[in-house]
Homo-oligomer: A and B are copies of this chain.
Amino acid sequence: MAARTAYHHGDLRRTLLDAALDLIAEQGVAAVSLRGLARRAGVSHAAPAHHFTDKAGLFTAIAVEGHHLLADAMTAGTAAGGGPGHGARGAGDGDGTDAPAAVLRELGVRYVRFALDHPAHFDVMFRLDLCRADDPGLAAARERSGALLNSAVPGGPHGPRRRGYVLAAWSVAHGFATLWREGSLARSVGDGTPENYFEEAADVLFAPADPPAAG
């Protein structure tokens, strides 16, 4: 890579974020240092401070971006950003109006796909000890991605048994993604794709052997 000669980098913030994401995906969060990222971007050791203030600021920016990307992934392909209702793939009924269970299942598949496609974002998003926990942008982004799962259940998140569904759906997606990412699941199953395995797990929740009573 040719050494940079201009004083102004041009897009140092994005460059540093991308360098951090690559490093995290390869070597984990613990490998990140501001000076290392600055070297990689070809700037002085203090240049990142202007864009992120400090190391916690860098991780906060990654977490905020991750929550928004996740929320986008969970709403892609839908009208008014309400969720994957229309056109969603899932074990739902065929009349065009998806059962809530099918919507939750599809959200779970997208959650796991997000984690696999954005491993570094996913690793950082739930590491509040690395972030500025009181950052308003982070709180808003977390709220946005969390609310989507709650909104997917008809009757609101406080209906009977529906809270159990939301907790189960979110937990199984997050747990699967985390354990797959860390290697525990991959070690104990065969060599299929993680998405296929996740769908096996999701079908335990959403497509039981005996179909549930209507309602």
A150 and B183 alpha carbons, distance in the complex (Å):
15
Q: Does A198 contact B (CB under 8 A)?
A: yes
CB distance from A169 to the nearest CB of B (A): 8
For chain A residues 105-128, which have a beta carbon within 8 Å of chain B?
126-128
In chain A, residues 15-45, which have Cβ atoms closer than 8 Å to a Cβ of chain B? 27-31
What residues of B have a CB within 8 angstroms of the CB of A178 in the complex?
Answer: 126, 174-175, 178
Nearest CB on B from A99, distance (A): 14
How many of these chains are in the complex? 2
CB distance from A40 to the nearest CB of B (A): 18
Q: Chain A: how many interface residues by the 8 Å CB criterion?
A: 51
Residue interface mask A149-178, B partner, CB < 8 A = 1? 010000001000101111110111111101
> In the complex, what distance in Å separates the CA atom of A47 from the CA atom of B30?
23
- Selected contact of A209 from candidates B31, B128, B168, B213, CB within 8 Å: B213
Report yes or no: B210 in contact with A146, Cβ–Cβ below 8 A: no
Given A146-B184, A209-B161, A129:B27 Cβ within 8 A: yes
Cα A72 to Cα B197 in complex, Å, equals: 28
CB < 8 Å: which of B165, B167, B176, B204 contacts A189?
B167
